[in-house]
Chain A
């Protein structure tokens, strides 16, 4: 089955640690995205990538980093510089206007 996988579903980290969230797609899509979801805030774009080895900052990129070494993979690193990292993180890929979302990773930092 084609789709987007994110792992793990739940992730717990101590404050001050960097953490990397995985996102893999086998849909052969060129574009991939990372969103952050907070209660009552909707989804906000962190980073996006339109092609391998290229990515751009979204609206809330501070404290995050990404890489796009392979078409299928777009990992997101939440660094210790991110002030409020606890959130639900969603990865997506797209062909044209239609975006396909993964199941999300809920990150809790204490």
Chain B
């Protein structure tokens, strides 16, 4: 079945450090890929998305590139801030059959210290 694997956390970084959170996927079709962010005590917010190979999603300084050859969608940010502390979820959707069911990874908790 379809699945998403993320690097296990927690990840602790100093402010202004470079961030990479790895995400790989297994899918029978051609999925769209997403990163969602969850701040403490809140629901999830869409951070960025990519719908086809070599697409780069970006938002708030975060970027991720859809790599079909390595089935990956790694999240990166050049300089993290304390306000980036949250849980990050990689997810995929396989369009078709009229439904859009997200398959999530287990999440990676990021803590940024001043």
A-side residues, CB < 8 A to B, are: 4, 6, 31, 33, 40-45, 48, 50, 56, 58, 90, 92, 94, 96-104
In the assembled complex, 5 residue pairs joining A and B whose CB atoms fall closer than 8 Å, in A order, are A6-B43, A45-B102, A98-B46, A99-B102, A101-B45
B-side residues, CB < 8 A to A, are: 32, 34, 36, 41-46, 49, 51, 89, 93, 95, 98-102, 104-107
Q: Which residues of A contact B42 (CB under 8 A)?
A: 103-104
Q: Given the interface contacts A101-B45, A103-B42, does A31 sit within 8 Å of B100 by beta carbon?
A: yes
Main secondary structure of the interface of A (DSSP, over half): strand
Q: Which residues of B contact A48 (CB under 8 A)?
A: 99, 101
Cβ contact within 8 Å between A101 and B43: yes
Cβ contact within 8 Å between A43 and B95: no
Cβ contact within 8 Å between B89 and A43: yes
4 residue pairs, one from A and one from B, having the closest CB atoms: A101-B43, A42-B106, A101-B44, A42-B104
Q: A99-B102, A104-B41, A104-B42 are in contact. List 11 more A-B contacts (CB 8 A).
A: A33-B102, A41-B106, A44-B104, A45-B101, A45-B102, A50-B98, A50-B99, A97-B95, A98-B46, A101-B43, A104-B43
